[in-house]
A and B are shown apart, each in its own frame.
Chain A
Amino acid sequence: MKHEHAKTATQNACKLCNPLGACLAFRGIENCVPFLHGSQGCATYIRRYLISHYKEPIDIASSNFHEETAVFGGSHNLKIGLKNVSDQYKPDVIGVATTCLSETIGDDVPMILREYKKEFKNGSPMPILIHASTPSYQGSHIDGFHAAVHASVKALAEKMPQQRLINLFPNMVSPADMRYLKEILEDFGVPYMMLPDYSQTMDGGPWGEYHRIPPGGTPASAIATAASATASIEFGSTIEASKSAAGYLDMMFGVPAWHLPLPIGIKGSDKFFSLLETLTGENRAEKYEDERRRLVDAYADGHKYVFDKRVIIYGEEDLVIGMTAFLREIGMVPVLCASGGKSGVLKKRIEELVPDVDELGIKVREGVDFVDIEDEAKILQPDFLIGNSKGYTMSRKNSIPLLRLGFPIHDRFGGQRMHHLGYRGTQELFDRIVNTVIEQRQNASSIGYTYM
């Protein structure tokens, strides 16, 4: 059987476009409306895509380009749009992200924003305007995410005296992960500035009345203090230097930056907790020791189910890196680590955590689509797949089970409440992985064991 397929086109993409990530990140700023400078469709498609995962309203404004706009420039539309969003939503912040369209015609967005502020100087309200450059023909959604975080810090952080404060840039993680991270920082008793924080805006409660913008998110005033922090922690090891918010604060304001891989697994979580202990001078709360002990105990209880199980892991590069380290510490073999992202350093970063990648025969591939992954799966014959919902097509076609995590989860319930990080997230992942194996065994057995 031939496993070759058409290589030029991207088939069943394992990535999304740049502006999506920016919209999500802007959603993590308090009272902020994401605004796409481009066609109406970009905003609508991205809203639909995000809603299907988060089950929350997400209003994204659009400057709604027309033919004349494309010919004469988007300045007029952008200004009207900003005015309308200001009137209708009364936001504190508007996060403007560009699209392939506005980037290609060469709109000078910073200049337009300056003009807007001048023209509407006396008009109230005047929200803070943040601009992230996110052309869809570059990178993928994760680049847009980091670009928006970086742009927000760049726009808002002000020089002020140092204070006891930690910045945390958590990367594109779930609202549940964000809540857990905040809990950890609170338990350390250290003031923090986490950006973005869509733990509430993308997973909030019911409304008694209409909210123009759902409550929650990091206030602009808090982002302004980022330059006064004693340190920044940034999760992610493939973030381009020019898009690293922690890197920016380090370079411009001398705030020391700590870059950690996503803390998944015991070793990854240990590193994160140790760093917090070093930075705060405090010991972790007893409850985290408990979480860790339970996790170690669970590893012991479940180790035989998972040892030498072969899996394919795919998704954003940083998620893949964090997961790979975790899978190795429980004895599983990620036979393929794949991403639609293309940082150029995926393999290198994995090797830093898993030095024996090559000896284990672990394949690492960047810039792939789901047909590439499927071709590999046919040869590698993994026990199951780990990644977002979009792998379901190949999972079903090739009868390989899929364990869902990350984003998007479009075909299961509760993706926004799924944990991935720290001892708690690792525990949840470990339980789910073991159960996947048990279920497979139970289903495959003709006996119908009731104890597994």
Chain B
Amino acid sequence: MEQIGILEGRERQVLEKNSGVAQADIACDTSSLSGSVSQRACVFCGSRVVLYPVADAIHLVHGPIGCAAYTWDIRGAVSSGPELHRLSFSTDLQEMDVIYGGEKKLYKSLIELIEQYKPKAAFIYSTCIVGLIGDDIEAVCKKVARETGIPVLPVHSEGFKGTKKDGYKAACHTLMKLIGTGSTEDISKYSINILGEFNLAGEAWIIRQYYEKMGIEVVATLTGDGRIDAVRRAHGATLNVVQCSGSMTWLAKEMEEKYGIPYIRVSYFGIEDMSKSLYDVAVKFPDRPDIMEAAKQIVSEEVKTLYPSLQKFKKALTGKKAAIYVGGAFKTFSLIKALRSIGMSVVLAGSQTGNQDDYARLKEMCDEGTVIVDDSNPVELSKFILEKGADLLIGGVKERPIAFKLGIGFCDHNHERKIPLAGFIGMYNFALEVYQSVMSPVWQFAPRKGGTL
């Protein structure tokens, strides 16, 4: 078979772990190489991901239609109440707007939408073109806020002004404007915010329940099942618990600086990390030993039922190999552990937006020979899946067809998932999904597994 090479300019973003020799750190935190078919999106995407689940605000995309159309109701971020986030609003800029400016259209759109939907706030996303034509979004937002009496917040998410990570930051910056504007009266001393949990398939509800069982008040989830009023009073919490560190660490740091709220990084995927995320919160409240007791109780009860139910999967999957390519690197740590707990090893681990520390830790965790990649592309992913003989790929929609074409299983661990993969129940769902995909008899027909072409 023909050898697939790595593009010139990307060699330093790929590494095969070899402890026998000194290896340079992986290169990351760079913009994508032109023409490389990166799996990343843009600044706008980063902002849209973070703010998307805020359900009682309108999300107006200022630009031509595409950016709004492609992000209409695409995520499994569910709401327990209002569902304004599932609607798609765009100023749908036309050629004349590009020439003469889109401010008037933006103003009129906002006034009408706010009149119709009565949202608690409005987020206005700038797209590429707005960064070029120079619309004064700030001024329009201020004017509309004054006239309507609700926060109207610009999100500086012009697609080309950085990477997806800059989009996260722009969204956090917008959230910071809301935080601190609500009353913190009646908030318990034993309270947290959950940052970077987007309530996909109701995951935030599962996590919240664990913490509440421990006697901890969850002030705000940012932004899963999000509400403007909850965001406004988030500064009243005692601790910030950061789940998707890639998107929300910046916000946690800002809140620490401005409001003195410390933060911890956690992950809700897999038994080990899920349990740890409860203990790590409990230790922050040493004057209430009952909180730690409750955490232990939850873990023990959950594991008691979960562990035996995983054995069937483990028996079938032991020795199978997985490839992981996801958005944030932090998630890969949990996935490696979760896969190990069902007998699987990891032969490829990569992310779109990991940083130097993430990759160092990833290398430490991985087995010898595991390939580690930053900002990869379909050609590379396919190359390593084939070379390493992976049986499973974990990724998102864009990675799915690569797995299926090559005749291996796939687990969707992206924002479109409809099944909760967080929490203890999430670990069961994860194992089940991996099992159902890897063990399916359909692969017998795949050419690489002996089927005819």
B160 touches A39 (CB 8 A): yes
Closest B residue to A10 using CB positions: B92
Given contacts A10-B65, A48-B70, A101-B129, are A64 and B97 in contact (CB under 8 A)?
no
CA distance A104 to B105 in the complex (A): 18
* A65 to B, closest residue via Cβ: B160
One of A161-169, A207-215, A424-432 contacting the partner: A207-215
Task: Among A11, A48, A101, A393, point to the contact of B398 (Cβ < 8 A).
Answer: A48
Q: Which residues from chain A contact B379 at a C-beta distance below 8 Å?
A: 59, 88-89, 210, 212
Q: Which residue of B lies closest to A101 (CB)?
A: B128
> Shortest distance in angstroms between A30's beta carbon and chain B's nearest beta carbon?
18
Chain A: residues with Cβ within 8 Å of the partner, total of 76
Judge if A80 is at the interface, Cβ distance under 8 Å. yes
Query: Could you tell me the distance between the alpha carbons of A206 and B403 in the complex, rounded to whole angstroms?
Result: 10
Q: Known interface pairs A63-B35, A64-B33, A100-B98. Does A210 touch B64 (Cβ–Cβ under 8 Å)?
A: no
Q: Mark A186-215, 1 if CB is under 8 A from B, else 0.
A: 000000000000000000011111111000
Cβ A210 vs Cβ B41 within 8 A: no
* Contact across chains for B65 and A140 when beta carbons are under 8 A apart: yes
Chain B residues near A61: list those with CB within 8 A: 35-37
> B66 touches which one: A19, A58, A78, A210 (CB < 8 A)?
A19
Distance, CA A57 to CA B97, complexed state (A): 35
Produce 1/0 per residue, B123-140, CB < 8 A to A.
000011101110000000
Interface residue stretch chosen among A130-138, A261-269, A344-352, A435-443: A130-138
Chain A proximity mask over B402-415: 1 for CB below 8 Å, otherwise 0: 10111100000000
Given contacts A51-B397, A101-B129, A137-B129, contact A41 B42 (CB under 8 A): yes
Residue in B108, B397, B402, B406 whose CB lies within 8 Å of A48: B397
Stretch at the interface among A1-9, A279-287, A325-333: A1-9
Known: A9-B90, A9-B112, A13-B90. A57 touches B405 (CB 8 A): yes
- What's the least CB distance linking B25 to chain A, in Å? 23
Asked if residues A60 and B406 are in contact (CB atoms below 8 Å), the reply is: no
Instruction: For the complex, give the distance between the alpha carbons of A138 and B97 in Å.
Output: 11
Cross-chain contact of B34 among A45, A62, A205 (Cβ < 8 A): A62
Contact indicator B94/A138 (Cβ below 8 Å): yes
- Find out whether the CB atom of B34 lies under 8 angstroms from the CB atom of A210: no
Query: What's the minimum C-beta distance from A440 to chain B, rounded to whole angstroms?
Result: 25
- The distance from the CB of B404 to the nearest CB of chain A, in whole angstroms, is 7
Contacts of A182 in B (CB 8 A): none
Q: B37, A12: Cβ atoms under 8 Å?
A: no
Which A residues are in CB contact (< 8 Å) with B160? 38-39, 65-67, 69-70, 101
* Interface contact A6-B382, CB-CB below 8 Å: no
Assess whether B93 is interfacial by the CB under 8 Å rule: yes
A137 touches B97 (CB 8 A): yes
Complex CA gap A76/B281 in Å reads: 50
In contact, A57 and B378 (Cβ under 8 angstroms): yes
Does B128 lie within 8 Å of A38, measured CB to CB? yes
Give the docked Cα–Cα distance between A46 and B397 (Å). 12
B448 shortest CB reach to chain A, Å? 6
| Contact indicator A81/B116 (Cβ below 8 Å) | no
Whether B132 contacts A101 by the Cβ 8 Å rule is yes
Smallest distance from the beta carbon of A65 to chain B beta carbons, Å? 4
Contact assessment for B65 and A136 in the assembled complex, using a CB-CB cutoff below 8 Å: yes
Measured between beta carbons, the chain A residues less than 8 angstroms from B446 are: 206
Would you give the shortest CB distance from A125 to chain B, in whole angstroms?
Answer: 14
Given contacts A13-B69, A84-B34, contact A51 B112 (CB under 8 A): no
Instruction: Tell me, yes or no, whether A47 is within 8 Å of chain B by CB.
Output: yes
For B37, give its contact among A17, A48, A60, A208 (CB under 8 Å). Answer: A60
A104 to B132, CA, bound (A): 8
Closest CB of chain B to A349's CB: distance in Å? 23
Q: Mark out the residues of chain B between 337 and 361 whose CB falls within 8 Å of any chain A CB in the assembled complex.
A: none
- Beyond the given A10-B89, A55-B400, A137-B64, could you list 18 further A-B residue pairs with CB under 8 A, ordered by the A residue number? A6-B109, A11-B87, A13-B88, A39-B159, A59-B37, A59-B379, A60-B37, A62-B32, A62-B38, A64-B36, A67-B162, A80-B34, A84-B33, A88-B35, A206-B445, A207-B406, A209-B1, A211-B405
Cβ contacts A to B, 13 pairs, < 8 Å: A6-B116, A8-B109, A9-B89, A9-B113, A16-B66, A41-B44, A45-B41, A45-B71, A56-B401, A62-B32, A100-B128, A208-B447, A210-B382
The 4 closest A-B pairs by CB, nearest first: A41-B42, A17-B66, A81-B35, A6-B112
